[in-house]
Amino acid sequence: MKLGVVGLPNVGKSTLFNAITKAGAECANYPFCTIEPNVGVVAVPDNRLDVLGKMYNTKKITPAVVEFVDIAGLVKGASKGEGLGNKFLANIRETDAIVHVVRCFEDENVTHVESTVDPLRDIETINLELIFADMDSVKKRLDKAISMIKTGDKKYKVESDFLSKLYAHLESGKPARTLDVSEDEKAYLKDLFLLTDKPVIYTANVGETDMGKDAEEIPLAKKVKEFAYGENAEFMVICAKAEEELSTLPEDEKAMFLEELGLKESGLSKLIKASYKILGLISYLTAGEKEVRAWTIENGTKAPQAAGKIHSDFERGFIRAEIVSYENLVELGSFNAAKEKGKVRSEGKDYVIKDGDVVLFRFNV
């Protein structure tokens, strides 16, 4: 899973990136201090792994991971190559989802590229640049489809009709992800790899005085929340500066720090949950003395395909999956005890893996 952290210059992108990856991206009070995309791989917080690790006295714990890409700040005209536009658009195209950081704090010591703080204006600036880039892509495909209609193949007429509808939607200033599409049209849309078809998590970056507050209590953040939900996107509030401070603390001090700030969990934890939700992802677990590990799959994945995440041989030679829920395994203390109590199920190739399933795959190749 690769998430692109985007936003206008000086909204807190690199500060947030530093906080969640501890990668030390340069953070300066001027546009384009991020020239090349900084990339950081972080572990997905999952307390279940620690519990299973102790239960099995395991030698190795391997969490699921998320790759964050801190992408250079965007300005008006990026779709036409202004600023670092071409580089920005190429980097964002490679991500699975977008973390759109929006400045929701006032600070005279941190300049704003537009001189004033206006989160909805900032969102519109970026969204329009992505829409303009998508319009160029769709126009090229549409022209090609129209030229192919003369071959007599009906699929080109169907394709051109859809692309015309999509182009009109983009031209009205709306992202591709908000277009109502049929099941057949979904395949056309997916094949276009559009920037505005990517899921978005709008992230309101607030000041330290607003930490612990609900978005409804922060006027600027409330505007972002309403916009995000109007788009069926994800939304979260974060204080990037505080998260960066939190990332430098030893583990035993982090809980105290969060409690003092009135926070139940870190921004990283909230961001991971939002990412999994918007991409429709879950984790299943494998556990043993050699390794306890979390595996990320799409919700709805069947057992053989889930096995294939471990190794292609597991999927090709799949026989069955022996499954116990994490809760039952912890309650009963061991896989064998769970088996004796009838809590271990033998499932076949049509079984859909659930979040928190602890799985032992049986296969033969």
* Interval 310-323: pLDDT, tens: 999 999 999 999 99
Q: Which pLDDT score, from 0 to 100, does residue 154 have?
A: 87
Amino acid 24: pLDDT: 56
Provide the 8-state DSSP code for 267. Answer: H
Enter the pTM of the model: 0.83
Mean pLDDT of 67-78: 70
Strands 38-43 and 200-205: unpaired
| Confidence at 83, pLDDT banded by 50, 70, 90 | very low
Average pLDDT, the chain: 87
pLDDT at residue 251 tops 80 = no
DSSP single-letter state for residue 7 = -
Note the helical H segments in the chain.
13-21, 47-56, 85-93, 119-148, 154-171, 183-192, 219-230, 240-247, 251-261, 267-279, 303-308, 312-316, 326-332, 335-340
In this predicted structure, what is the pLDDT of residue 80?
60
pLDDT at residue number 253: 87
Residue 38 phi, psi dihedral angles, 5° rounding: -80, 135
Give percent of the chain with pLDDT exceeding 90: 55
- pLDDT at position 13 is 86
pLDDT on residue 112: 62
Above 80 in pLDDT, residue 176? Answer: yes
Supply the pLDDT for residue 320.
96
Q: How many CA within 13 A on the CB side of residue 287?
A: 27
**Mean local confidence (pLDDT), 28-44:** 62
pLDDT at position 179 is 94
Give Cα 362 to chain centroid, integer Å.
32
Residue 32 confidence (pLDDT) above 50 = no
Longest CA span, the chain: 69
> Lowest-pLDDT range, 69-83, 201-215, 229-243?
69-83
What phi and psi values does residue 280 have, to the nearest 5 degrees?
Answer: 65, 45
Strand partners, 201: 99, 234
Give 185 or 80, the one with higher predicted confidence: 185
Position 34 confidence tier, pLDDT thresholds 50, 70, 90: very low
DSSP, res 176: G
Share of the chain above pLDDT 70, in %: 89
The token pair at 131 is 């829409």
pLDDT of residue 30: 42
